[in-house]
């Protein structure tokens, strides 16, 4: 069998399916990194068109004229930079490559610095990095050195007071040509509030001439701003450098971005996403990861939800029932979004289940009335109490249903109609729910007195039935019971077998048993994938790369132990079943023997009917005057010779 293909068979032999052979994993696109020693500007971006011939900055050799330098840098960046289509290349820009390009562009102007100066700069850079790490902790990520220069990333979370609204206009037309002339009727705006925004990512690389002569090279990458806005942020950073020439500037940059960037952009209450799909020419260093409303909105929402949840978990909150403070992780949140501390919910659930008032097990918040889900209940009650909870819930629910009645024969739940008649769907008994006896259309319910009279009469008539009739009735009854027992036994046996060898498809619940092959299963009934080990639905081989489930698995000793235990349990059940069978059979024989008392049988010689009396197997045929043994049907000459402990028994029942 080729590797990767698995054979599965379910109990129903007509369903056999196999998995298609392993597909090669999708090739991942890795961005090409330009090698360090080439000096030509190489196209390292996919999706971005290489524009124009390579240019070298025309002027600006003088190190003092930093402004001019920056200008040329920008010009270089601008001429090369073009977003063709808002939906395509924006997200794939690799900031490292941008930095690389900036470095290359500035390579020509690498200044002649004295070794001393370089050493001083180096030390200052080192100190600055350490300081930033200690201030910003995890938000600073030091990357591998690029061309021997220090490179790092800082995640800056802009400060939001209260809540910000994010809005975006969604156009129904996707044609760019028409966009300019779209009437406002085709647009509608969608907005939602957030408390947390994905961070502004500032990626920097320190040139050797920082902080003495040149600023750090940087890119700003933002999820929720377009490139023009980010470009304006870039220019502000430039101007901050201008003011602080020769000094370390990182802290000022980060601080400004964190506290003042939003207000600088005019964002106080609302951010409007977009514009999308417009050719933007901005600063090279401005990387906008805003692609389209379809991807941006879920991303922003998800980030916000995660952060809200994180902040909830990490902070102390007061439980409104007990007024004690707990960290967020000690709280339980109900589906209605109200939260309470674990001990309160535990006490609450316990109390009501013990008292039987499960109807009151709703969200404690006044006027909420939300349900507490059974899974939460299971978590807080023990197993025993949970069983009690379930039975109470069922009982209460049925009590609420005013038209639910119980069948007088089999106790199964039935629904009555407006005439108080009901038919049990289990035993098909049609009965009147008021008097619990058989359905009496048109006649009123039988009174208890008449019911009693009827019963007495039937008892009398029952005792008058002749022996033969009664025998027949009893026999029929016994046969019914046997049949039922056997059916039930068979059912249980098949269930046991299923549980032992099969797994259930998580999609369509078909029982599937694996004969050979790997653990990536294709269900024969619905065609969907699932993992044979953990029984969860999967998409493909991704699942097995994680490490939890192996594609080809040998049985570990623990699992073997489990299986053995399982087998033991199965054999125990089997022996129990056998015991039941034996008991059943014994009871059956006993009943049969009762019937056989007085049952006639034929004489071996003359075929005349005789009756065994007093359980004695020595029978005397009244027709042909022979003695014979009831058990072996042989003629008996001498009773003592034929009957004995090792021979036929003299007296047996039946």
Q: Which residues bind another protein (CB under 8 A)?
A: 320-324, 341, 343-344, 347-348, 351, 364-366
For the range 532-541, what are the long-range contacts, defined as Cβ-Cβ under 8 Å and sequence gap of 24 or more? 532/503, 535/503, 535/504, 535/506, 536/506, 537/506, 537/507, 540/23, 541/22, 541/23, 541/25
Q: How far apart are the C-alpha atoms of 523 and 644, rounded to whole Å? A: 65
Q: Are strands 140-146 and 149-156 parallel, antiparallel or unpaired?
A: antiparallel
| Helices 467-501, 557-596: crossing angle, 10 deg rounding | 170
Minimum gap (Å) between residue 401 Cβ and another protein? 21
Instruction: For another protein, give the closer residue by CB, 322 or 415.
Output: 322
For 319, the token pair is 């439980």
Minimum gap (Å) between residue 333 Cβ and another protein? 15
Instruction: For another protein, give the closer residue by CB, 338 or 599.
Output: 338
Phi-psi region of 81 (alpha: psi -120 to 50; beta: other; left: phi over 0): beta
Instruction: For another protein, give the closer residue by CB, 342 or 436.
Output: 342
Instruction: For another protein, give the closer residue by CB, 367 or 637.
Output: 367
Cα within 13 Å of Cα(187), Cβ side: 12
Instruction: For another protein, give the closer residue by CB, 341 or 505.
Output: 341
Q: How far apart are the C-alpha atoms of 57 and 78, rounded to whole Å? A: 12
Are residues 157 and 199 in contact, defined by beta-carbon separation less than 8 angstroms? yes
Minimum gap (Å) between residue 359 Cβ and another protein? 10
Cβ-in-10-Å burial (0-12, 13-18, 19+) of 66 comes to: middle
Minimum gap (Å) between residue 348 Cβ and another protein? 5
Instruction: Report the 10 Å Cβ neighbour count for 34.
Output: 18
Minimum gap (Å) between residue 365 Cβ and another protein? 6
For 148, the token pair is 């021997």
Minimum gap (Å) between residue 360 Cβ and another protein? 8
Instruction: For another protein, give the closer residue by CB, 173 or 357.
Output: 357
Instruction: For another protein, give the closer residue by CB, 344 or 619.
Output: 344
Minimum gap (Å) between residue 265 Cβ and another protein? 43
Minimum gap (Å) between residue 346 Cβ and another protein? 9
Q: How far apart are the C-alpha atoms of 517 and 14, rounded to whole Å? A: 19
Q: How far apart are the C-alpha atoms of 445 and 434, rounded to whole Å? A: 7
Instruction: For another protein, give the closer residue by CB, 23 or 316.
Output: 316
Which residues are bridge partners to 166 per DSSP?
A: 192, 271
DSSP string, 248-297: --HHHHHHHHHHTHHHHTT-SSEEE----S------TTEEE----HHHHH
Minimum gap (Å) between residue 438 Cβ and another protein? 37
Instruction: For another protein, give the closer residue by CB, 396 or 574.
Output: 396
Name the nearest CA neighbour of 2 among 24, 22, 26: 22
Instruction: For another protein, give the closer residue by CB, 72 or 349.
Output: 349
Minimum gap (Å) between residue 369 Cβ and another protein? 9
């Amino acid at each position: 069998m080729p590797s990767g293909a698995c054979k599965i068979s379910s109990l129903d032999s007509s369903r056999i399916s196999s998995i298609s052979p392993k597909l090669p994993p999708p090739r991942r696109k890795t961005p090409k990194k330009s090698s360090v020693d080439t000096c030509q500007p190489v196209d390292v971006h996919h999706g971005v068109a290489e524009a124009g011939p390579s240019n070298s900055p025309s002027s600006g050799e003088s190190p003092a004229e930093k402004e001019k330098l920056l200008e040329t840098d920008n010009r270089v960046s601008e001429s090369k930079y073009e977003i063709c289509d808002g939906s395509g290349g924006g997200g794939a820009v690799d900031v490292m490559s941008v930095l690389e390009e900036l470095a290359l562009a500035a390579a020509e102007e690498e200044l002649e610095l004295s070794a001393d100066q370089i050493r001083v700069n180096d030390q200052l850079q080192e100190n600055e990095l350490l300081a930033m790490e200690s201030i910003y902790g995890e938000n600073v990520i030091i990357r591998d050195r690029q061309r021997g220069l220090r490179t790092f990333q800082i995640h800056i979370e802009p400060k939001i007071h209260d809540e910000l609204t994010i809005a975006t206009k969604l156009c129904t037309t996707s044609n760019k040509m028409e966009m300019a002339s779209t009437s406002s009727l085709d647009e509608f705006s969608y907005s939602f509030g957030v408390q947390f925004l994905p961070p502004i990512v500032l990626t920097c690389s320190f040139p050797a001439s920082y902080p003495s002569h040149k600023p750090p090279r940087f890119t700003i990458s933002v999820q929720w701003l377009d490139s023009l806005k980010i470009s304006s942020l870039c220019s502000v950073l430039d101007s901050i450098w201008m003011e602080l020439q020769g000094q370390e500037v990182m802290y000022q940059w980060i601080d400004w971005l964190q506290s003042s960037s939003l207000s600088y952009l005019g964002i106080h209450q609302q951010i409007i996403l977009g514009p999308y799909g417009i050719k933007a020419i901005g600063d090279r260093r401005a990387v906008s990861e805003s692609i389209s409303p379809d991807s941006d909105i879920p991303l922003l929402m998800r980030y916000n939800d995660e952060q809200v949840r994180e902040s909830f978990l990490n902070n102390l909150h007061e439980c409104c029932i007990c007024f004690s403070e707990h960290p967020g992780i000690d709280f339980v949140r109900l589906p209605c979004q109200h939260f309470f501390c674990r001990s309160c919910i535990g006490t609450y659930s316990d109390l009501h289940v013990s008292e039987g008032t499960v109807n009151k097990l709703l969200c404690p918040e006044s006027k909420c009335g939300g349900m507490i889900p059974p899974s939460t209940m299971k978590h807080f009650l023990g197993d025993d109490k949970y069983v009690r909870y379930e039975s109470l819930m069922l009982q209460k629910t049925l009590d609420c249903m005013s038209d639910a009645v119980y069948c007088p024969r089999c106790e199964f739940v039935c629904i009555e109609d407006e005439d108080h008649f009901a038919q049990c769907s289990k035993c098909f008994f049609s009965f009147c729910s008021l008097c619990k006896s058989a359905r009496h259309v048109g006649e009123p319910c039988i009174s208890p007195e008449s019911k009693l009279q009827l019963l007495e009469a039937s008892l009398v008539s029952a005792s008058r039935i002749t022996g033969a009739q009664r025998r027949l009735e009893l026999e029929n009854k016994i046969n019914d019971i046997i049949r039922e027992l056997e059916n039930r036994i068979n059912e249980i046996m098949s269930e046991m077998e299923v549980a032992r060898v099969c797994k259930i498809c998580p999609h369509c619940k078909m029982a599937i048993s694996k004969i050979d092959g790997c653990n990536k299963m294709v269900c024969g009934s619905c065609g969907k994938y699932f993992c044979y080990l953990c029984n969860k639905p999967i998409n493909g081989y991704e699942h097995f790369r994680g490490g939890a489930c192996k594609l080809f698995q040998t049985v570990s000793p623990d699992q073997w132990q489990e299986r053995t235990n399982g087998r033991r349990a199965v054999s125990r059940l089997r022996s129990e079943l056998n015991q039941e069978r034996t008991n059943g059979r014994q009871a059956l024989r006993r009943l049969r023997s009762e019937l056989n008392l007085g049952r006639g049988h034929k004489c071996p010689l003359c075929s005349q009917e005789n009756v065994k009396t007093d359980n004695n197997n020595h029978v005397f045929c009244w027709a042909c005057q022979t003695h014979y043994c009831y058990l072996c049907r042989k003629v008996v000459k001498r009773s003592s010779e034929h009957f004995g402990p090792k021979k036929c028994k003299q007296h047996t029942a039946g």
